[in-house]
Structure 1
Amino acid sequence: MTPRALLIDGHLDLAMNALAGRDLTLGLEALRARDPVTGQTATVTFDEIRAAGTRVCFATLFALPQGPGSPGGYTDHAGARAQALAQLDQYRRWEDAGLVRLLREGREVEEHLAGGSGALGVVLLMEGADPVRGADDLPFWVASGVRVIGPAWGCTRYAGGTDAPGPLTAAGRDLVTAMRELGVALDASHLDDASFWEALDLGPRLLATHTNSRAFLPGNRHLTDAMARAVAERGGVIGLVFLSTFLQPGWEVGQDRVPLAGVAAHARHYAEVVGWASVGLGTDLDGGFGREKAPSGIERYRDVPRLLGLLPAEHRAGVAGENWRRWLTRYLGTR
């Protein structure tokens, strides 16, 4: 029997879903039967993650800003911070229950992967930096276990982001500098081009947890080939997103879902540009969308390994998790 590949997922919004009322300790069918989130059929539970073979993930602290679809979102730093702290508390509760293990250093990743624990290894990723008061507040979040920060989502106090072009602000330059000094990696996902290149000049550790290739898609949400090369040249890995709107331009709900081969096409393009060693998973499943927008063939999280059969055999293990494992064991928690 062929052993199941190690999976490491670069992006999951676990605590965000829990605070939306989803009990991820339930089986998937039980969760779906009582799901408080409407219009988004859930795919992720702890059982599903285990069934896929995922041992480690980058799990987010994601504060949702107020907007047309989020009237209860934050409007200032205090609101963003409150959301992130509530999610941090959720991860700690799960850790107390033995469901997750918060990983802060590369050696802890190796120990976790070598051990037989059924807990999910979690690397804390802050997606959108508005919960951070300023550069002087960064040590608090580092002490709390945050090891990766994406300064932008849309526009934040720190950077231009998705559909919100612009450079780093003065506070953003200070934050990225402090991240470099404290060994906090910068997630390039969601950064506008101007912010990306300016941040690069400040020299932080770099990765892109969940972003597809702009060669296929217009707009500033995904990486250009030049940006992908910059991530790879600095030792970073790029995570592939399992979202139909991020795979095929013009796709809309109601159309046939984009085939899983669409994810493989982005993987192959990145491999042509930067090599297979810089390609990983960043599924973002249940990250504000459900099964309806996932690629066809992904009915639940345990289906994620189906992608591997569409990739060259010699590179499957790397994309599944070994490339992220290499990054984590080399860079996590180091300055």
Structure 2
Amino acid sequence: MIPLPFPVVDGHLDLAYNAGLGRDLTLPLAELRAADPVAGQTATVSFPELRAAGVRVAFGTLFAVPAGAGEAGGYRDHAGARRQALAQLEQYHRWEAAGHVRLLTRAADVREVLAAPDGTGPLGVVLLMEGADPLRDAGDLPFWVDAGVRVIGPAWGATRYAGGTDAPGPLTDAGRELVAAMRELGVTLDLSHLDDAAFEGVMEAPPALVATHANSRALVPGNRHLTDKMARAVAASGGVVGLVLLSRFLRAGVGDRVRVPPEAVLEHARHYAGLIGWEHVGLGSDLDGGFGAEKTPLGVGRYADVPGLLERLPEDVRAGVAGGNWARWLLGALG
């Protein structure tokens, strides 16, 4: 692994979700894999692995799984979604108490984590709610802000707030109220997973925008990916787009049994750079986000391989994409 000139910041990791699957992320990766309860998905992420790769900060999700998403126990209403999100929030607090993570809610927290000597200190975690169904309604937003949530993606599939991936639909009335509340409270909206019609509703009066984990629709069709218009909206807001390391999200027509070459990641990076500038491009790996090493690009069999992938970028932009662009955004957004 080649050391990078800047700490790594990952815009999207489902850390607590994986703990809920029974994975002990405090273990070295080899030990986690040896005892992994998740079949068919070779793990790539653990806290020691992230530390070895130079990751200082990650956006850690609160991700409630809906019924019908292929997993047992999915939620069917707000109460069920809320229970899942609160259980994951409790997991982050347990990790924080044990010294594995530090929840970041202020710019000063980010500065301290980034300034720590290499290989020391806990992983900084910015809480990101992926899919807004855990919120009762817009009036519930202050509770989650007080709990540390700083970014919310209204959709995953369809939610009570917006159309999402493979579930086209507009921003609902509840969604409009939520977007207004996010704007008022300074909560950033994650465009990842948001359907086109819902995006148009958001843009009528948008809050701050990012796309924590979203590749380009110009290269891969489907409403899971960002249109150029969406990417420009993120850049106009001062935000960052995170690159996803799932093979079928990187090359059109690729199925789940094909691992794409590393060049496929660079194709999306270069597309975004030409469209909105390298300063708005970052990582949003989504590693272990419902897939394992079997579906990552060739050469990325574990998180410690990610720095080698970034070494393929132009030297003058490498540090920014690795973490500098997300760090700059966080220092401005968290105040």
TM-score in same-fold range (> 0.5): yes
Please give the secondary structure, in 2, of the residue aligned with 1:280: strand
Please give the secondary structure, in 2, of the residue aligned with 1:231: helix
Q: CA deviation at 1:72?
A: 1.7
Structure 2 CA distance, aligned partners of 1:283 and 1:99? 20
Aligned to 2:148: 145
Cα RMSD (Å) of the superposition?
1.2
User: Alignment partner for residue 246 of structure 2, among 243, 246, 254?
Assistant: 243
Please give the secondary structure, in 1, of the residue aligned with 2:199: helix
User: Alignment partner for residue 278 of structure 2, among 260, 276, 301?
Assistant: 276
Cα displacement string for residues 241-289 of structure 1 (whole angstroms, at most 9, x for unaligned residues): 000010011212333x101111111000000000000000000000000
Cα displacement string for residues 39-80 of structure 1 (whole angstroms, at most 9, x for unaligned residues): 100000001100110000100000000115123211111110
Q: CA deviation at 1:142?
A: 0.4
Structure 1 CA distance, aligned partners of 2:285 and 2:3? 24
User: Alignment partner for residue 224 of structure 1, among 209, 227, 247?
Assistant: 227
Aligned to 2:115: 114
- Give 5+ residue unaligned stretches, structure 1: none
Structure 1 CA distance, aligned partners of 2:140 and 2:182? 11
1:128 aligns to 2:131 (yes or no): yes
TM-score, length of structure 1 as denominator length? 0.97
Contact 1:44/1:286, CA 8 A, preserved across alignment: yes
Please give the secondary structure, in 2, of the residue aligned with 1:147: strand
Structure 2 CA distance, aligned partners of 1:41 and 1:69? 18
1:315 aligns to 2:311 (yes or no): no
Q: CA deviation at 1:33?
A: 1.0
CA 1:286–1:326 in 2, change beyond 3 Å: closer, same or farther?
same
Contact 2:113/2:124, CA 8 A, preserved across alignment: yes
Aligned to 1:32: 33
Tell me the amino acid that sits aligned with residue 55 of structure 2: T
Q: CA deviation at 1:194?
A: 1.1
Tell me the amino acid that sits aligned with residue 307 of structure 1: L
Please give the secondary structure, in 1, of the residue aligned with 2:311: helix
| Sequence identity (%) | 67
Structure 1 CA distance, aligned partners of 2:299 and 2:4? 22
Q: CA deviation at 1:4?
A: 4.4
CA 1:110–1:67 in 2, change beyond 3 Å: closer, same or farther?
same
User: Matches of residues 196-211 of structure 1 in structure 2 within 5 Å?
Assistant: 196-211=199-214
Q: CA deviation at 1:27?
A: 1.2
What is the count of residue pairs matched by the alignment? Answer: 332
1:161 aligns to 2:169 (yes or no): no
Please give the secondary structure, in 2, of the residue aligned with 1:310: coil
Q: CA deviation at 1:107?
A: 2.0
* Greater mean deviation of Cα atoms: 28-37 or 124-133: 28-37
Tell me the amino acid that sits aligned with residue 263 of structure 1: V
Tell me the amino acid that sits aligned with residue 72 of structure 1: G
- Give 5+ residue unaligned stretches, structure 2: none
User: Alignment partner for residue 216 of structure 2, among 213, 216, 220?
Assistant: 213
Tell me the amino acid that sits aligned with residue 158 of structure 2: C
